[in-house]
């Protein structure tokens, strides 16, 4: 006759390792657990039957662990679906232009550099400064101080009107409030050449003509 405390050794620890049966053959899965529980009920001592509270508690523990395993599987499926969706979203941007934060630009021969400035409320004037790789000021121009995202396009020329040589440049925006000045967020337009995804964390990276950037940094898609 099976002792009345047999189920005690088959509670949560065995149920929590239901996948272990496939690994080493020494741990119990759901079917084995229920088979042994029914066998105990058939063979229990009539003089010392299993207490209803104990029986219900064992079932509750097993159901909880099984439910957690099912939830983990569902979360894994959801994570995989979200990753696939993110890849498709990123792939749809290839060949398009995006507006993202950052002031480092690459000027091509005879080209322009489009972008935008996030003008803060209360600004009385806004200017954009263009500097070359050495930090020397190449061009300075004004934007309307209206609050919000204000587009601009540097025509690739210096303050003297000459065409600036192709190369790397740094753009910065300055907002003035009377006699006070502060930096304003500046965004540049970039062309997406390809996308890549981190196999470990699933983070998506956009590879553009001006370097790599995160999908979360994109403010506008053109």
Distance CA 186, CA 16 (A): 53
Query: What are the CA-CA distances from residue 44 to residues 6, 53, 60 (Å)?
Result: 10, 16, 20
Global pTM?
Answer: 0.59
Give residue 20's pLDDT.
Answer: 45
pLDDT digits (tens, 9 = 90+) for 9-53: 444 444 444 444 444 444 556 666 667 666 766 666 665 555 555
What domains are defined for the chain?
A: 6-91 (no CATH), 100-189 (2.60.40.4070)
Give residue 67's pLDDT.
Answer: 58
Average pLDDT, the chain: 77
Give residue 119's pLDDT.
Answer: 96
pLDDT digits (tens, 9 = 90+) for 181-222: 999 999 999 999 988 877 776 678 889 988 888 888 888 988
136-141 average pLDDT score: 97
Residues 181, 187, 188: CA angle, nearest 5 degrees: 130
Residues 6+ apart with CB under 8 A from 81: none
pLDDT confidence tier of residue 76, bands split at 50, 70 and 90: low
Residue 198: CB atoms within 10 Å:
10
């Amino acid at each position: 006759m099976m002792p009345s405390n047999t189920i005690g050794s088959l509670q949560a620890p065995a149920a929590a390792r239901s996948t272990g049966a496939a690994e080493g053959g020494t741990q119990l899965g759901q079917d084995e657990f229920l088979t042994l529980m029914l066998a105990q009920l058939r063979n229990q001592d009539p003089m010392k039957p299993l207490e209803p509270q104990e029986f219900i508690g064992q079932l509750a523990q097993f159901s909880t662990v099984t439910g957690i395993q099912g939830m983990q599987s569902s979360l894994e499926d959801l994570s995989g679906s979200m990753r696939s969706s993110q890849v498709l979203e990123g792939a749809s941007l290839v060949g398009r232009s995006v507006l993202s934060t950052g002031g480092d630009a690459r000027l091509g021969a005879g080209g322009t550099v489009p972008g935008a400035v996030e003008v803060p409320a209360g600004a009385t004037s806004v200017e954009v400064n263009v500097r070359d790789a050495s930090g020397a000021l190449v061009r300075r121009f004004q934007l309307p101080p209206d609050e919000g995202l204000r587009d601009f396009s540097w025509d690739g020329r210096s303050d003297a009107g000459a065409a600036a040589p192709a190369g790397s440049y740094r753009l910065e925006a300055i907002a003035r409030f009377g006699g006070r000045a502060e930096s304003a967020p500046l965004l540049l337009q970039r062309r997406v050449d390809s996308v890549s995804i981190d196999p470990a964390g699933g983070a998506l990276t956009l590879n553009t003509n001006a370097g790599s950037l995160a999908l979360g940094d994109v403010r506008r898609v053109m």
